[in-house]
Amino acid sequence: MNWGNKLLITFIVFGVGMFYLVYRAVNTNYELVDKDYYKQELRYQQVIDGTNLANQLSTAVTIGQTTSGISLELPAEMKNKEITGSILFYCSYDQKKDKLLPLQTDSDGLQVFDPKDFSPGNYSVKINWSAEGKDYFTEKLLTVL
């Protein structure tokens, strides 16, 4: 094989390699953390204030997976109170796994979710709730098996 054929094979391999890299780059899914990131950044002081209020409670919010499901328990101060809010199960690596659910606790401050509604993975659980005119916020990590 002479040097001309070797040079031609080198250019062909280079061209195929470049085509493959362009193909992979075009088909890569780039998900943003949030589509309205700027608006949420402006409201971040509310998150700070809510976190400070939640940290002043006697116990922290607990969330975990049990045999009956995924259980969320609010602190003892929230028992027998009118509570409204939402829970965001945020999966950082797959936007399709994200779930936004209403906070509907019983009189003991407990809410149980069906584990069949969640795909296995790591979630950052962001809990916003209001009770007696105060807004609370907390964030917990959860691994769903």
pLDDT one-digit tens code per residue, 49-97: 999 999 999 999 999 998 889 999 999 999 888 999 999 999 988 888 9
* CATH no. for 37-144: 2.60.40
- Domain boundaries in the chain? 37-144
The pLDDT value recorded for residue 128 is 95
Residue 32 confidence class, pLDDT cut points 50, 70, 90 = low
**What would the two tokens of residue 72 be?**
């969320």
The Cα–Cα gap between 18 and 119 comes to 36
What is the rounded distance in angstroms from the CA atom of residue 144 to the CA atom of residue 41? 28
| pLDDT tier, 33 (very low <50, low <70, confident <90, very high otherwise) | low
Provide, rounded to the nearest whole percent, the portion of the chain with pLDDT above 70.
97
For residues 91 and 97, the answer to whether their CB atoms sit within 8 Å is yes
Q: pLDDT grade, residue 138 (50/70/90)?
A: very high
11, 19 Cβ separation under 8 angstroms: no
Question: In the predicted model, is pLDDT for residue 31 greater than 70?
Answer: no
- The residue-averaged pLDDT of 15-41 equals 84
pLDDT of residue 93: 83
What is the pLDDT of the chain when averaged over all its residues? 90
